[in-house]
Amino acid sequence: VLLSERDGTILIATMNRPDRMNALGGGLPEALNEAWLDFRDDPEVQVMIITGAGDRAFCAGMDLRQNDERARELGAQSAQALLDASASRAIRVAFNSNNFGLWKPVIAAINGWCLAAGCEMAMGCDLRIMEDQARMGLPEVKRGMGAKQTTHKLHYLTKLSLGLEMVWTGDPLTAQRAYDLGLVNEVVPTGTSVERAKEVARKICEFPSDYLTYHKLRVFQSIGVPMDYAMSQQQRFPPEENGAYRQGLQRSLKQGVPGWPR
């Protein structure tokens, strides 16, 4: 249900349930959790790209059809009790809330419908590259449900009123509107999101992984805190004390910085 491919120091993970629009069921959530941890702990991999198999969907969210089938099998009350018990268990690995400390770059290559938990997963990534025919949204309200987890990040990526519009109406956004609102970094032609994501990932991989994780962690620690505290992070955690910083400085002194005038 999850295909993994290595391209140098890049890991491409493909959700492989195209017959169910890559919905999160059938063992896919568990496979994704293992993949996040493997990526976090593998020093040979710097960037991860997540995408969906087929040409219809990135990920359509939780597999509601599977949930409905189970509810009919067990009975609505028993199924709800099982769901409540699962939700009340001890803290589990969750990519959207990043409760396991993944500070490496993750890129979403959005190649089709990107809905509900799939949309939240994309928002949980650091960069999003979206194909022009794709759509993204949070339709939970239409089923009497609430969007969870990464919806708080939605309001950092776009304006508060537009974030509320998404969760209140449940209507999907076109790729161009998602780009205009700041939800995605780039819109590319159909069928090219993974290759474009690889190009971006290769550029990122030119730099030391320690540098990448340092800045992602510092950025997240600075969100939502007073400006003076955020600015003090550099003094509390000086980047120049990192070995990768010194190596990069030495390299730039010898070779110059690509793209900068000399």
Q: Which residues participate in catalysis according to the annotation?
A: 120, 140
Please give the Cα distance from 164 to 160 (Å, whole number). Answer: 6
Q: Report the run of H or E that residue 82 belongs to, with start and end.
A: helix 76-87
Q: How many CB atoms lie within 10 A of CB 66?
A: 14
Q: In angstroms, what CA-CA distances link 224 with 6, 155, 227, 231?
A: 36, 11, 9, 12
Residues 6+ apart with CB under 8 A from 188: 129, 130, 131, 132, 196
Rounded (10°) CA dihedral 144, 96, 129, 32: -100
* Residues ≥6 apart with Cβ < 8 Å to 175: 110, 130, 131, 132, 133, 134, 135, 136, 184, 187
Q: Is 142 helix (H, G, I), strand (E, B) or coil?
A: helix
Cα separation of 169 and 37, whole Å? Answer: 34
At residue 66, what is the residue type? Q
Distance CA 10, CA 40 (A): 12
